[in-house]
Structure 1
């Protein structure tokens, strides 16, 4: 039955006409009660699976819950009210006519419910002043369908499992779950094929031909033979997997992915958004582990990672912070001054951003006000599917450090950072002001006009630039180093200068002293210098090290060779650091070098034995 046939049926049976809700419109029509002119039916044309279908909404009062659970019915499409039900024309037209009849009777009886046994016909008014009353018509005989002898016993038994005593809101999902478990291993090989279209489809919505068509298609699919079928059949198969019918959680996850790649991506891409959302719920509800979570929440994790960097810049490198700004704003990549001073602005940005996040100091919660705000959203588990929650207890599931799912009574409480409106504009404004003030304070380019921004942000920028400048000054001090490469030449030049200033008498005295020193060295037998070592010590360094170890004099040798004992000691410590892991020579209170007692044994093994 299409909309035109419905118009004729309503007029022939009730004497009423559908009227467009807006004059001249062909999209939505209403059927008004002759008693109070209130709507009791609404016909709409909507797009379902790329096809324009006629949907009829009916006002059936308290009986709506029962009608909604019948094959061919669903929630109302246009009017979101528990007293209304919806039906797609062309599905179970006989039941639709009965529901329409009930809605008409209810409208004619002032919403009284004791109308099941009466049939009314409304005669529209004409120019005559006589008033007509609705007259009861004898009901038609109930024509029962004879049982189909070709119904397989398994299907016949499954149909008997449906519990009509359950309320539709939860009973529909439970009945589907019970029937699905019963049919988990059933296979069929039906020669005919019947199409099937239904919102939130279940077995209960199918006739025998549709049931056999579905189970035949499912039997082939389980053997790897993927064939195009009605979208409603495909959703029923997904509902089975979401309820873990015939599979364990890991098998169900693998089959969902397999169905996505081999059916959805080839035949029905309109199903992909639903399946992607259900996969996320699936890995959390059945607690499959972090690898599966990372796979299903890849986009969310990538987004959350940016927010984690923005919220906790101290935990990440400066380069990663810059990458987030470059990705989430346009100003960073377009400012010529920033491009020309990339290294400087990279360090400057982190200093300023850390100051800006200090809300207590400047009286502004910049991150939550201008970037992203922590939110909690409640959402049904496997939203938009037929899923029976078995009162399962699930611990809190962490997607990442910024997103978690808390399970409560069949729903998720999702904690996440939601980007604020105009986030990109806010970040661009912040970067513009950072650029403007940095130009002024660091002399980086021509001045630019200010943009409107909170004064607390300007204070944070000033404070951040001050921190940056302090860091730069400290870095300059740390970078001061003494270059010892020319010390030998300086010493030699100093010695020549000194000799030129000595008198002949002073020179003779010095020579005499030198002879006495040499004679003393002969007697004391100074340490032999071992130059073939693996530590890279040169002859002078080896001399000092061995002399200190044997408590022998070293002063004359150092003086004669124009050396500085502090430099020799530093060089020895540096070359032996990798081997010993610490300095081996230190200076006492008299500023005299000595070997640290703890390392004498190690040094003896390295330089004296053998």
Structure 2
């Protein structure tokens, strides 16, 4: 083959594809995997490139210059130095065995495993993430955490996130460690906090902040807890208004919220939107969920208002009688503790981290001083609050009893002070509801005709003989309507007999408050007829009613009773108006406003 350029890889491919070689006796007695029959020297399992030998030559014992005493490298530092040396290396010798190590590094691998790892890593960097030994995956994660194979911190975050998203399908157990390392990577390198939008720790922080903001109008001391009363943060990763330091000066104890029984916990009429926000916070974070209660489905307004009001009262109670408020005590205690970056990982800092302050959110901050990190946050705030659940359940139980709602809950353990607060809010709410309940007016129209018929008979019985001689009493409109409805008498021609009639005014008694009386038809004409004959009132009665029109009532004549005079005037005017003209109010006798014009026409024709 002299004089010709030979591609060794092409030659091997041809040999591997040759069926004659495959069926040879040398290869017919065995079980084979998907591996090449002929390999290059680099692909031979027994072959070890010089790069690996030089990497292993990096000794853990490091001599110091100038004759100073040497030192042993830590496992993390040795791994970092070896990873830097092998940062751009790639191999082509797959490993199909298994590699297991608790803190895996290159030193824990055999030569064959080393070659298999760097072959697998080369494929990962090309975007081909294949399942392998989980320890290999952790070694690659350690490399990224230490900045091996990344251009900058943001590139490192993206590669960490991409590998985690791909490999968790093969090994979901890596979630527990990788979530923490991603969190630490953002803090350590001062990246944007929004990169941790789905971080469980930050999600919990934001939920606690939302609770505090919901209750802040009723418990102003929560503003100090959130750090809203301090200066702005110096780091761009921190939230606006959050101080960079990890400590806060103790705030003066605020005055407790109003707890007097004469003051309402929440305004009435209720602010439904505001109460819904409070109930939302309770629903998300209490161990007892009010909206799942049968009482809520039957009486949502009752349970919503009373539960929200009880929690507002409890905010004041805790602030007055406890060392910490209801929100702070229910979701853990704020404290500053030492923090280890990238715990459970093989991580080495070539240079100590510069002093830094990072505010992940208003209640979660980190501080680095001389390479040592501390974290100030709410510890113990995981899960739903048992204390909140007990308050919500006790409220549900006692409100059911007050409303006689079935089924009743099993009586929960409830401190006396809590029972007193709940009962007071229930009583206040139910009293307000009764006082502002809409009035229901039920008018039985079937009885109106009977009332009017009885009124006509009574009127006929009260007439004197002279009044009877003047003419027959006109039938009431209802009576005429009934007669017409029942079938009016027919004329000889078969038509309905027609009579000239005047409608009779309705009775004023029995009208609802604020309802205007129905005025009699044509009262002015009836008054004119009476005036033409001299008028029904005497001179004294005319003077008395004229004074009422002017708003300057006169006393009754000497020897006469004012009550009797008013009754007499009302009787005389009843035929004209069909109703009482004068009534007694708080200031004495007064004219009914609807008939003032008719009476003025009567006495001043």
* TM-score normalised according to structure 1 size: 0.47
- Using structure 2 for the length normalisation, give the TM-score: 0.48
Q: Which has the higher contact order (CA 8 A, sep 6+)?
A: 2
Greater strand content: 1
Larger Rg: 2
